[in-house]
Amino acid sequence: MVNNVFIYRARCSCYNKWMGSGKSFSLNFINKEQIAQDTYSFFFDRSEVPFDFLPGQYVRMTLPHGNPDDRGTSRYFTIASSPLQKNVLMLTVKILESSFKKALYHLQPGDTVQFFGPMGWFLLSKDDKQEKVFISGGIGITPFHSLLTTFADEKLHAPITLLAAFSEHAETLFYDELMAINDKHAQITIVYIKQRISEGLIKKHVKDIVKPVYYVVGSPLMVEATKELLFSMKISEEQIQTEDFTGY
């Protein structure tokens, strides 16, 4: 699996276009902001670059640096910002002890960074009114942040529930921003939890559990456990879309 990647697989196209083929481009680094324990949002200037993407897509970043580890000088990251933010590209990353993450952390304002993208398929139709349940574990919330901020700005009408699980309060991401969306948009429900996803939890927040399509993103263990839980609840495989983040 690629790092911090979520690929949407579904039955229809979004905004009547497909953006599966990427291109090489460069962006200047603006700054970084710590938003949780060991987690930073990195901001890049895209105001002068003809680069468009759909929410949920991802890019490959290349950072040449000395003594790279065995994973090399490139990583894949889901874009956490909305495509409607034309001036900025935001990547939210958990900083671990890899040579790449150290190079990323030490970027200076004005540094030029190489990217390739966008990649992945966002296939949730703008006009699709089927109920959706987003389930995220930890850093897996990043594609849903892009999706929900876009949906809120576009005033889409499909009912959406996000169940965002974090093991510790210090690791919680995007709480204030997403709860503000929850408060303003009746069709969007945001629920932050500090527990494992369970049948009781899903039934508490989803009125008819067999109606929605479920999208699950997180660590491989979290994704597999949630998928098995949904199967035990008689949710069909066709209603479950998953992606796991490995090695981030």
Residues 45 and 106 in one domain: yes
Asked whether residue 127 is assigned to any structural domain, the reply reads: no
Q: Is the pTM of the predicted complex or chain greater than 0.85?
A: yes
Domain that holds residue 114: 23-119
Is 178 found in the same domain as 90?
A: no
Q: For residue 170, what is the domain's CATH number?
A: 3.40.50.80
At 5 the pLDDT is 37
Do residues 166 and 240 both lie within one domain?
Answer: yes
Taking 60 as the threshold, does the pLDDT of residue 6 lie above it? no
Mean pLDDT is lowest, of 14-28, 93-107, 230-244, for 14-28
Residue 101 lies in a domain: yes
- Burial label, 230 (beta-carbon count in 10 A; 0-12, 13-18, 19+): buried
- pLDDT value at 123 more than 70: no
The count of domains in the chain is 2
Question: Which of the residue ranges 155-164, 189-198, 221-230 would you say has the lowest mean pLDDT?
Answer: 155-164
Is residue 71 within 8 A of residue 100, CB to CB? The reply is: yes
Do 137 and 144 contact (CB within 8 A), yes or no? no
Mean pLDDT, to the nearest integer, of 8-31? 63
Do 109 and 145 have their domain in common? Answer: no
1 domain-assigned = no
| Residue 154 and residue 235 in one domain | yes
User: Is position 202 within any domain?
Assistant: yes
Q: What is the mean predicted confidence (pLDDT) over 167-175?
A: 95
Q: Does residue 94 lie in a domain region?
A: yes
Q: In what order do the strands lie in the sheet with 74-78?
A: 74-78, 58-62, 112-119, 23-36, 39-45, 88-94
